[in-house]
Structure 1
Amino acid sequence: MEAESIPSLSPLIQAADQWGELLLLLPLLVALEAVLSADNAIALAAISRRLHDPKLQAQALNLGLGLALVFRLVLIAAARWVLDFWPLQMLAAGYLLWLCVTNLRPGDSQAKEEQGQGNEPSAEVAQKGLSGVVVTLALTDLAFSLDSVAAAVAVSDNLLLVMTGGVLGVVALRLTSGLFIRWLEVYRHLESAGYLAVGLVGIRLLLRLSAPQFVPPEWGLLGIVALLFAWGFSKRNSEPLAEEVEG
């Protein structure tokens, strides 16, 4: 007699199958989220760094990613409809490209440095800045989520499984963003590399909408991002200072 033919055992067998799928695919989904979110983490760290105060930076990441988690779960629940809704993808692509261009312009980076050298902001100004950064963090993660959610849904159609992977992905994103905030202070080209990667994701979303035949494979995009990261970690900010001292 087959075990599946015993009615009392059927729920147990189905549960075992679900847990087996969970144990097998969950690490894959988490790894997928972590790899696809590396450029996202740099962007979120750079946005949070505008607050200058480490306590406000941590608070912004906690609140912003908490809101982003809600957006992600809604996006996963409505994935079948949202991923076919081209205006939302167009807005996400435009936002990511705007984020890339506005943060790579030399004038903007100089303005950020001058702002960082100014006086300490008042509590009211700091609170307004915190609110703006929280919203920007949530929207940025939402734009990135269109790509990662599409990949996760392609791996499994189990809604609970994909949501669990999304939650763990946001937790991992919070941890890596905190690391990148410190690394951005150390490595000269890391922020530029991160925003270039953001632009690549935006271009990929546009190609997916307008010319799907030209969309680069996932491994190709990851290879380019890896090269950008290698460049980003190639030079420390302290190196020129050391040369001046020796001179």
Structure 2
Amino acid sequence: MEAESIPSLSPLIQAADQWGELLLLLPLLVALEAVLSADNAIALAAISRQLRDPQLQGRALNLGLGLALAFRLALIAVARWVLDFWPLQLLASVYLLWLCVSNLWPAAASNDAAGEEHAPEPGTPHHDRGLLTVVGTLALTDLAFSLDSVAAAVAVSDNLLLVMAGGVIGVVALRLTSALFIRWLAVYRHLETAGYLAVGLVGVRLLLRLAMPSLVPPEWVLLAVVALLFLWGFSSRYPVPDPSEITP
């Protein structure tokens, strides 16, 4: 979900078609992107955590979001075509739903836990393939999120450079918020589940837009549900081990 895709912001963004006014709005756009991309950011953070090395997590985010930025700019350039090409939107909704279900299904969770116990050492060929897989998954996930928001952003403003500037801001905000969520996922026990449920909601919304447009909920409803999910996600921390119980 992106700031440019919210209809209530349309007059403000349209009024900023002059670049002097846009510069005054950039801080607001950055703040909005950081808040509204939380559902996307937590999914990217959870995907990056599959790499146990923090340095590799940062590298994967940099490479994956760099690729995602190229995808976003390409989508903006062909947004009018994307609006009419429903199979691509269907694939995006199915991918987001698969991402949600595959990460919340109990069998998948147990396999992930087992995989962490046998994680390969950094620098091994298997580990390098894992990095490439994570980078590709990050880029595809952001692409799926972007299909809905980019089409809406182009509908809001016909200034291609303005929409591209919003796309760049969105990716920068994602990089910053994803790094924060990587830390928070190790602290809050329900946060990852809340994030993947939010991903599933976006997938359902895309599917409804294709199959039953009259049933698509307004943006504020989706925002409210996502906000409630994240309140629950931040509601409980993992227990902190007692130092006296740690054996040397």
Which range, TM-score by smaller chain? 0.7 to 0.9
Q: How big is each residue's C-alpha offset from its partner over 1:133-169, in whole Å with a ceiling of 9 and x where there is no partner?
A: 0000000000000122133223321100110111011
- Is the aligned partner of 1:192 residue 2:193? yes
Q: What's the counterpart of residue 115 of structure 1?
A: 115
Is structure 2 residue 97 aligned with structure 1 residue 124?
no
Classify the secondary structure of the residue corresponding to 2:84: coil
Instruction: Report the number of matched residues.
Output: 229
Q: 1:236 maps to what in 2?
A: 237
Q: What's the RMSD between the two structures over aligned residues? A: 2.2
The structure whose Rg is larger is 1
Kept after mapping to 2: 8 A contact 1:68/1:138: yes
Judged with a 3 Å threshold, the aligned counterparts in structure 2 of structure 1 residues 181 and 103 are, in CA distance, closer, same or farther, namely: same
CA distance in 2, matches of 1:119, 1:90: 34
TM-score, normalising length: structure 1: 0.86
Distance 1:234 1:179 in 2: 17
Find the counterpart in structure 2 of residue 153 from structure 1. 154
1:8 alignment counterpart? none
Give the match for residue 12 of structure 1. none
| Alignment-derived partner of residue 145 in structure 2 | 144
Matches within 5 A, 1:199-238: 199-238=200-239
Aligned mates of 1:155, 1:28 — CA distance in 2: 17
CA change 1:238–1:86 in 2 (3 A) is same
Unmatched 5+ stretches in structure 1: 1-15
Q: How does 1:1-247 map to 2 (within 5 A)?
A: 18-23=18-23, 26-27=26-27, 29-118=29-118, 120-121=120-121, 123-238=124-239
Q: Give the Cα separation in 2 of the matches to 1:19 and 1:73.
A: 19
1:51 deviates by 0.7
CA drift of 1:205 comes to 0.2
In the TM superposition, residue 57 of structure 1 has moved relative to its aligned partner by: 0.5
Identity across the alignment (%):
74
Distance change (3 Å), C-alpha of 1:181 and 1:214: same
Whether the aligned pair in 2 keeps the contact of 1:33 and 1:166 (CA below 8 Å) is no
CA shift for structure 1 position 21: 4.7
1:22 deviation in Å? 2.2
Superimposed CA distance per residue, residues 65-105 of structure 1 (whole angstroms, 9 cap, x where no aligned partner): 00000000000111111122101000000000000000001
CA distance in 2, matches of 1:75, 1:87: 15
Runs of at least 5 residues in structure 2 that lack an aligned partner in the other structure: 1-15
The two structures have a TM-score, normalised by structure 2, of 0.86
Aligned equivalents of 2:137, 2:212: Cα separation in 1: 29
C-alpha distance in 1 between matches for 2:42 and 2:221: 20
Contact 1:33/1:148, CA 8 A, preserved across alignment? no
C-alpha distance in 2, partners of 1:127/1:92? 27
* CA distances 1:144-198 after superposition (whole Å, capped 9, x unpaired): 0012213322332110011011101101100100000010000000000000000
Contact preservation (8 Å) 2:17, 2:162: no
